[in-house]
Amino acid sequence: MIGFLLRRILQAAIVVLLVTMFTFILLRAIPGNVAVAILGPSAYRNPAALAQFNAQYGFDKPWFSQYLLWLGHLLQGNLGFSWTLDQSVASLLANRLPKTIILVGSSTIIALLIAVPVGLWQAVRRNKEVDYIFTSLSFLFYAAPTFFVGEVLILVFSVKLGWFGPEAAQGGTWNDLTDWRDMVLPVTTLALVSIALFSRYMRSSVLDNITEDYVRTARAKGASGKRVLWRHVMRNSLIPIATLLGLSIPGIISGALITESVFNYPGMGLLFYQSAQKQDYPVLLGFIIVVAIATVVGSLLADIAYAVLDPRVRYA
């Protein structure tokens, strides 16, 4: 187990390093002059200013030295400086990350609380009306583009009914709790897609388990149907869900990007989108690294959770 853990962590570190290298090369290879983007088109008439800008930020060096310079800063916790927002990337991320974690975290928890019982119910009532209704709903929300769901929710619950705000909470992290009315629609939007995915996995996972021998054994020993379902089937069916949760982090964060744009929620997704439009490289790089680490850690945790939860899995 220890050997497996060490190997997995080493692999994860290599992957993160590759991600930084790859994104750096990609961003530097793309046409566009950073100095002109920052100083404005009139800078073309002032070559001295361009040269000074390039020297100051290290753009006159070859890309590989630029990468090493940037990586060295990264190891010291310095993610660079956003030119367009006039702030350090670390402080930007420190402001925005908690907002996204609140959005993503609360919607994922709500999604799990709904999807697990629904999937279990569907499996027990397989091919009955309930199953068909929820299967159709999950197909519907899985197929619907996230922003379309968001806009329809705004149209119905905000414009027509006026129950919730059309825009997410704008203030600091605490405002998300005090302005919970404004957070209902963004969290619902993101949760609906996750519910569709999780409940389908839960349903098939329960169906796999319900025919296993241990279920028959438990029944034969006199355990009630309810007990078998909740104690035996449910616990074993949650194992793939734990893995799915770890692996669906990139998908949920992508959903958060769209959701944040729809509801103008000042999280990481909105920041990334705005920075991409302004070609603000340091922010994009810092962001991609945070997301990549989250993804790599997520799949690492999924592997470990799988080994811990399922006694049949043994890594050599």
**Ramachandran area for residue 128 (φ above 0: left; ψ -120 to 50: alpha; else beta):** beta
Stretch that binds another protein, among 105-113, 168-176, 236-244, 270-278 (CB under 8 A): 270-278
Give the nearest distance from C-beta 228 to another protein in angstroms. 28
Stretch that binds another protein, among 78-86, 90-98, 208-216, 288-296 (CB under 8 A): 288-296
CA 195 to CA 122: how far, in whole Å? 13
- The upper half-sphere exposure of residue 77, i.e. CA atoms within 13 Å in the direction of its Cβ, equals 2
Q: DSSP letter at 87?
A: E
Q: Which of 173, 174, 175 is nearest to 165 (CA)?
A: 175
Positions 21 through 80 that interact with another protein (CB under 8 A): 22-23, 26-27, 30-32
Length of the chain in terms of residues written: 316
CA 160 to CA 112: how far, in whole Å? 29
Looking at the DSSP assignment, which residues form a beta bridge with residue 88?
81
CA 178 to CA 161: how far, in whole Å? 21
Give the nearest distance from C-beta 221 to another protein in angstroms. 32
Rule CB under 8 A: say whether 139 interacts with another protein.
yes
Strands (E), the chain: 81-82, 87-88
Tell which one of 79, 153, 291, 302 touches another protein (CB under 8 A): 291
Positive/negative CA dihedral, 168, 169, 172, 175: negative
Given the structure tokens 């600091």, which residue do they identify? 172
Give the nearest distance from C-beta 108 to another protein in angstroms. 15
Positions 231 through 260 that interact with another protein (CB under 8 A): 250-251, 253-254, 257-258
Give the nearest distance from C-beta 263 to another protein in angstroms. 12
Nearer to another protein, 76 or 277 (CB): 277
Nearer to another protein, 103 or 292 (CB): 292
Nearer to another protein, 108 or 228 (CB): 108
Nearer to another protein, 202 or 233 (CB): 202
Indicate the Cα dihedral angle 117, 122, 123, 127, nearest 10°: 170
Residues at the site binding another protein, with contacts judged by CB under 8 A:
11, 14-16, 18-19, 22-23, 26-27, 30-32, 139-140, 142-148, 151-152, 155, 159, 250-251, 253-254, 257-258, 261, 272-273, 276-277, 279, 284, 287-288, 291-292, 295-296
